[in-house]
Chain A
Amino acid sequence: MSANAGNKRPLSPHLQVYRPQITSILSITHRATGVVNMFGLMVLALWLITAATSNEAFASMQWLMGSFVGVAAMIVWSWTIFYHLCNGVRHLVWDTGHGLDVAQVTRSGILVLVISSTLTLVAWISAAVI
């Protein structure tokens, strides 16, 4: 990085001219969903802490989570959690040295998108039914 900073040559991976591919898009999505999940985890911690504190504190938290912003955030978090979980399992499989051919990586990537979206739908349909 610093060695190239002086001579103004472009730095790898040349994002300005890099053609988006399912591999690169799913990779950065894994990182982005991880960060989003961290914020969800912080809110979950606050939810538990308010539940342990008082009726008033928990009521304000429940009001926030029941508001439009709260529900929208939970819908987003449900998908980011399932995506990061499924793609994380994909990473664990790669760590064993399996599924690393380009065709297999593309197939498992599509599978991750399908499974994580299906799980999100199933979760919200179950929530509505129960």
Chain B
Amino acid sequence: MRDYRTPTARVRGLGSAHEGTGHWINQRVSAVAMVPLVLWFVGSIIFHLGDDRAAIMAWLQNPLVAILLTLGMVASFYHARLGIQVVVEDYIHNTAAKVVSLLVVQLLLLALGVGSVFAVWKMALA
């Protein structure tokens, strides 16, 4: 079949979306934020391992705890979303399977991220 389109026209829109640098920088910005937040969180969890529900709610009613936990959850879910996107793109080559996987994983992460932040603030303001 003859194709009158130029080579440029045929590949336009199929290549890089020119968003790679932004993705790379955002992965690192969230990583830097997570270093102190994750260390704080793991340390805190060790102190609250045996707590019942009332004790955890009391812990979350400290504004600093609620704010740090919110920042930690936002940074972690965002970092996970960026990371899993690259993993899916690297290993799933079938376009339909790739698009469906990206949608399912990223929407699930968004839902759980919003859900956990709401949960923190519900307990913080209870």
Contacts and interface: CB of A to CB of B under 8 A. Distances in A.
Contacts of A37: 80
A1 to B, nearest CB: 8
Max chain A CB contacts within 10 Å: which of B34, B39, B42, B115?
B42
Contact of A92 (B31, B56, B87, B120): B31
A49 B38 contact: no
A92 B84 contact: no
A52 B80 CA distance: 23
Interface residues of A, number: 31
A82 B42 CA distance: 10
Interface string A79-112: 0011001001101100100000000000000000
Interface string B100-126: 000000001100110110111011000
Contact of A49 (B77, B80, B115): B115
B42 A78 contact: yes
B83 A49 contact: no
B28 A92 contact: yes
Contacts of A55: 53
Interface of A: 1, 31, 34-35, 37-38, 41-42, 44-46, 48-49, 51-53, 55, 58, 78, 81-82, 85, 88-89, 91-92, 95, 123, 126-127, 130
Interface of B: 28, 31-32, 34-35, 38-39, 42, 46-47, 49, 53, 56-57, 73, 76-77, 80, 83-84, 87, 93, 108-109, 112-113, 115-116, 118-120, 122-123
